[in-house]
Amino acid sequence: MFEFVKIFDTTLRDGEQSPGASLNTGEKLKLAKQLAKLKVDIIEAGFAASSPGDFDAVNKVAKEVKGPIIASLARANEKDIKAAADAISPASRKRIHTFIATSPVHVKKKLRMSYEEVLKKAVESVKLAKEYTEDVEFSPEDATRTERSYLVDIVSAVIDAGATTVNIPDTVGYTTPQEFFELISFLKKNVNNIDNVVISVHCHNDLGMATANSLSAILAGARQVECTLNGLGERAGNAALEEIVMALKTRHDFFDIDTKIDTKQIYGSSRLASQLTGIFIQRNKAIVGINAFAHEAGIHQDGVIKERTTYEIMKSEDIGLPGNKLILGKHSGRRGLVNRLSELGFENLKPETLENVFGRFKALADKKKEVTDDDLYALVASQSRTVPEIFKLVKLQVVSGNSSMPTATVRLQRNGTIFMDAAQGNGPVDAAYKAIERIIQIKVKLEDYQIKSVGEGKDAMGMVHVRVHFSDTGKTILGMGTHTDVIQASAAAFLDSINKNLFFKDVE
Answer whether 154's CB lies under 8 Å from 102's CB: yes
Residue 335 has what pLDDT? 79
Q: pTM for the whole thing?
A: 0.83
56-65, 395-404, 477-486, 499-508: which has the minimum mean pLDDT?
Answer: 499-508
Residue 187 has what pLDDT? 98
As a whole number, mean pLDDT of residues 346-366 equals 80
Assess whether pLDDT exceeds 50 at residue 80. Answer: yes
As a whole number, mean pLDDT of residues 394-408 equals 92
The secondary structure of 300-346 as a DSSP string is: HHHHHHH-GGGT-SS-GGGGT--SS-PPB-TT--HHHHHHHHHHTT-
Assess whether pLDDT exceeds 50 at residue 274. Answer: yes
**What is the percentage of the chain residues whose pLDDT exceeds 90?**
66
- Helices and strands of the chain, counted as H and E runs: 17, 14
> What are the two backbone dihedrals, phi and then psi, of residue 287, each rounded to the nearest 5 degrees?
75, -55
The alpha carbon of 487 is separated from its chain's Cα centroid by a whole number of angstroms, namely 27
As a whole number, mean pLDDT of residues 200-218 equals 98
Q: How confident is residue 431, by pLDDT bands cut at 50, 70 and 90? A: very high
Answer whether 273's CB lies under 8 Å from 480's CB: no
> Which amino acid appears at position 87 of this protein?
A
Which residue spans of the chain are classified as CATH 1.10.238? 298-383
As a whole number, mean pLDDT of residues 307-313 equals 71
Q: How confident is residue 303, by pLDDT bands cut at 50, 70 and 90? A: low
Residue 337 has what pLDDT? 81
The alpha carbon of 11 is separated from its chain's Cα centroid by a whole number of angstroms, namely 4
How far apart CA 230 and CA 405 sit, in angstroms, is 41
**What is the percentage of the chain residues whose pLDDT exceeds 70?**
92
Which residue spans of the chain are classified as CATH 3.20.20.70? 6-277
As a whole number, mean pLDDT of residues 132-161 equals 98
Instruction: Output the CATH code of domain 298-383.
Output: 1.10.238
Coil, strand or helix: which one is 405?
strand
Q: Spell 415-427 as b/e; 16+ CB within 10 A means b.
A: eeeebebbbebee
Assess whether pLDDT exceeds 80 at residue 296. Answer: no
CATH fold of 6-277 reads TIM Barrel (3.20.20)
Assess whether pLDDT exceeds 60 at residue 295. Answer: no
Look at the alpha carbons of 44, 49, 51, 56 in this order and tell me if their dihedral is positive or negative.
Answer: positive
122-136, 304-318, 488-502: which has the minimum mean pLDDT?
Answer: 304-318
How far apart CA 263 and CA 345 sit, in angstroms, is 12
Assess whether pLDDT exceeds 70 at residue 380. Answer: yes
Assess whether pLDDT exceeds 70 at residue 302. Answer: no
HSE of 486, CA atoms in CB hemisphere, 13 A? 18
Assess whether pLDDT exceeds 70 at residue 467. Answer: yes
Greatest mean pLDDT among 181-185, 269-273, 361-365 lies in 181-185
How far apart CA 40 and CA 8 sit, in angstroms, is 7
Assess whether pLDDT exceeds 60 at residue 326. Answer: no
Assess whether pLDDT exceeds 70 at residue 88. Answer: yes
Superfamily, domain 392-507: Alpha-isopropylmalate synthase LeuA, regulatory domain (3.30.160.270)
Q: How confident is residue 386, by pLDDT bands cut at 50, 70 and 90? A: low
Assess whether pLDDT exceeds 80 at residue 312. Answer: no
Which residue spans of the chain are classified as CATH 3.30.160.270? 392-507
Residue 324 has what pLDDT? 43
Q: How confident is residue 1, by pLDDT bands cut at 50, 70 and 90? A: very low
Assess whether pLDDT exceeds 70 at residue 235. Answer: yes
How far apart CA 215 and CA 437 sit, in angstroms, is 50
Assess whether pLDDT exceeds 60 at residue 301. Answer: no
